[in-house]
């Protein structure tokens, strides 16, 4: 559709626009907002060409760009997407529009810095998914922390400083080990290319250390039990748009890291240590689900539910070894892996919807306490409709996107080990319990107090945002085939890489 370097444009257009807005947007909030919205829409439009021109029959990298960057160390500005990363790039550019729109009337202070930070983040996130050079990847990965740090710390809630410090240091701590792993592999191979890392043979001891280094980095980002504690804090304190970006995209980077780095680069270590990831995933699904049940703060509840749902992502990815062992074929393994990938996309939509929903309430009532609400649906019928839809999707109702991914992973889990399947299935009960209980307490019943009495229904802007996400949730839920088709070849290739020994 477009003849130019699409990925470079997707990365640099929002970043440059963001910097421009930082400089010219001072005291010109309206200009800053419109310019930001325009940028995100143009970016999304350009990113659609990735989908249209995508060749689903090959598993190699597409839309590749490669320029020498630091030639002394064989570091390249090397971009490209395959079926694993392309949907995530689209998810990013799509979410960006909603993020900018959601802040429209809400942010009053230093609008240009807020918009600029989110635009820069948007470019950087595409960079993370598109980078094929490990140093380039690391640069984007770390760079993302800077705007997020400032967004949470400046526009966040009461304990924002604590939350943002914790967020930054936790994720930074995780990723430095990944950097040492990259440097180690470079010292062995003389190249920083991710594709090269995927092909090079690595001894078992080294693989285990590299795997653990990756695990720390990605587990913090996903986040997995027991390094998940930064997420509820960050979510609760972050402004709505910050929560949306965190939940919808940043968490996906952890999952993406597993499929791009851990599984193909250290297949033998992944195989021998898959029990560790599976155990942590099951704990996340079950235990964190129960933790979510007792939350009194809506954002915290959704944050814990995110951790629980991301457990399915990591579970689906690491089930493959047991399935291949049990059934002798990669057929069932592909089910789990594709389920994990679908779950990432779907969770992007659903958690985005949930956090925007809480944002809508918070803008009106300035509290996230469940007990402060009750009977909201009487005053906000349209809003109630969307909220119930997202809640149902979060609980995994068939017909919504939440069902597809979880169902695929649960099926795969039964193939791997009946007990995994049973524990994973509990989420259908626990998830429904905490989500629907929250919906009941917030939306249904009598109008609880005079503040709720004064609530007004969605305005046009909010309606459009909610409707867009609702359509996305339903489309993925009813007709997930196009996304599966995009991923299919790349997943098959990933399974070959992940099950071929590199010793």
Where along the sequence are the contacts to another protein (CB under 8 A)? Answer: 22, 26, 69-73, 113, 135, 138-139, 142-143, 145-146, 149-150, 153-154, 160-161, 164-165, 168-169, 172-173, 176-177, 179-180, 183-184, 186-187
Measured between alpha carbons, how far is 490 from 127 in angstroms, rounded to an integer? 19
* 134 vs 306, beta carbon nearer another protein: 134
Which lies closer to another protein via its Cβ, residue 37 or residue 206? Answer: 206
Q: Whole-number minimum distance, CB 245 to another protein, in Å?
A: 18
Minimum Å distance from CB 145 to another protein? 7
Least distance between another protein and beta carbon 203 (Å): 14
Q: What's the closest the beta carbon of residue 495 comes to another protein, in angstroms?
A: 31
Q: Which is nearer to another protein, 182 or 355 (CB)?
A: 182
Given a contact cutoff of 8 angstroms between Cβ atoms, the answer to whether 258 and 178 are in contact is: no
Find the helix or strand (DSSP H, E) in which 80 lies.
strand 75-81
Of all residues in the chain, what percent are helix, strand and coil, respectively (each to 5)? 75, 5, 20
Q: Which of residues 160 and 235 has its CB atom nearest to another protein in the complex?
A: 160
Q: How far apart are CA 246 and CA 288, in angstroms?
A: 18
Complete DSSP assignment for 428-489: HHHHHHHHHHHHHHHHSSS--SHHHHT-----HHHHHHHHHHHHHHHHHHH--HHHHHHHHH
DSSP 22-76: HHH-TT-HHHHHHHHHHHHHHHHHHHHHHHHT--TT--S-EEEEEEEEEGGGTEE
Q: Which is nearer to another protein, 91 or 152 (CB)?
A: 152
Distance CA 201, CA 269 (A): 12
CB 420 within 8 A of CB 318: no
DSSP one-letter string for 207-231: HHHHHHHHHHHHHHHTTPTTS-THH
Nearest to 436 by CA among 394, 472, 474: 394
Sign of the dihedral through C-alpha 238, 239, 240, 244? negative
Would you say how long the chain is, in residues? 503
- Our CB check for another protein shows the closer of 183 and 388 to be 183
Backbone angles phi, psi at 396, to 5 degrees: 85, 35
Residues in contact with 418: Cβ distance below 8 Å, sequence separation at least 6, in sequence order? none
Q: Which is nearer to another protein, 113 or 305 (CB)?
A: 113
> Which CB sits closer to another protein, 157 or 445?
157
Min dist CB 53 to another protein, Å, is: 29
Report the nearest approach of another protein to the CB of residue 147 (Å).
Answer: 11
CB of 389 to another protein, least distance (A): 36
| CA 18 – CA 33 distance, rounded (Å) | 11
b/e 257-268 (16+ beta carbons within 10 angstroms → b): bbbbbbbbbbbb
Min CB(481)–another protein separation in Å: 39
Residue 71 CB, nearest distance to another protein (Å)? 6
Which residue is it, tokens 């954002």?
A: 299
Q: How far apart are CA 347 and CA 129, in angstroms?
A: 17
Measured from the CB atom, the residue of 168 and 256 that comes closer to another protein is 168
Q: How far is the CB of 224 from another protein (least distance, A)?
A: 19
In the complex with another protein, the residue whose CB is nearer, 164 or 346, is 164
């Amino acid at each position: 559709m477009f003849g130019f370097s699409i990925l470079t444009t997707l990365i640099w257009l929002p970043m440059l626009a963001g910097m421009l807005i930082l400089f010219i947007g001072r005291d010109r909030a309206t200009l800053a907002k419109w310019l930001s919205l325009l940028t995100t829409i143009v970016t999304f439009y350009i990113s659609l060409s990735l989908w249209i021109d995508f060749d689903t029959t090959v598993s190699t990298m597409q839309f590749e760009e490669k320029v020498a960057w630091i030639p002394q160390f064989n570091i390249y500005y090397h971009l490209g997407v395959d079926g694993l990363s392309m949907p995530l790039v689209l998810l990013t550019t799509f979410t960006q529009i909603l993020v900018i729109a959601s802040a429209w009337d809400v942010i009053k202070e230093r609008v240009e810095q807020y918009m600029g930070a989110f635009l820069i983040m948007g470019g950087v996130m595409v960079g993370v998914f598109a980078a094929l050079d490990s140093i380039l990847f690391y640069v984007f990965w770390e760079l993302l922390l800077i705007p997020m740090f400032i967004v949470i710390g400046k526009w966040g809630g009461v304990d924002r400083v604590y939350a943002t410090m914790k967020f930054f240091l936790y994720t930074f701590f995780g990723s430095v080990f990944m950097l040492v792993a990259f440097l180690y592999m470079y010292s062995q191979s003389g190249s920083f290319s991710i594709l090269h890392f995927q092909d090079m043979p690595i001894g078992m001891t080294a693989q285990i250390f590299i795997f653990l280094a990756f695990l720390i980095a990605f587990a913090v980002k996903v986040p997995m039990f027991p390094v998940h504690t930064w997420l509820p804090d960050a979510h609760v304190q972050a402004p709505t748009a910050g929560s949306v970006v965190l939940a919808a995209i940043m968490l996906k980077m952890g999952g993406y890291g597993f499929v791009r780095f851990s599984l193909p680069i250290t297949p033998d270590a992944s195989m021998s240590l898959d029990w560790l990831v599976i155990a942590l995933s099951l704990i996340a699904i079950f235990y964190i689900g129960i933790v979510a049940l007792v939350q009194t703060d809506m954002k915290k509840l959704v944050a814990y539910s995110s951790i629980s749902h991301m457990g399915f992502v990591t579970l689906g990815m690491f089930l493959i070894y047991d399935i291949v062992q049990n059934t002798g074929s990669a057929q069932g393994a592909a089910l789990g892996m594709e389920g994990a990938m679908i779950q990432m996309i779907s969770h992007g939509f659903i958690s985005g919807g949930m956090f925007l929903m809480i944002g809508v309430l918070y803008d009106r009532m300035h509290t996230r306490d469940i007990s402060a609400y009750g009977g909201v649906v009487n005053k906000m019928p349209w809003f109630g409709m969307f909220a119930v839809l997202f809640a149902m999707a979060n609980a995994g109702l068939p017909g919504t996107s939440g069902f597809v991914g979880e169902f695929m992973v649960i099926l795969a889990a039964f193939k791997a080990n009946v007990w995994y399947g049973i524990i994973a299935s509990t989420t259908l009960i626990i998830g429904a319990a905490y989500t629907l209980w929250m919906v009941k307490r917030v939306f249904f019943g009598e109008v609880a107090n005079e503040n709720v009495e004064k609530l007004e229904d969605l305005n046009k802007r909010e309606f459009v945002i909610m409707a867009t996400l609702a359509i996305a949730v339903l489309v993925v839920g009813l007709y997930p085939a196009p996304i599966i088709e995009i991923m299919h070849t790349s997943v098959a290739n990933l399974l070959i890489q992940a099950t071929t020994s590199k010793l």
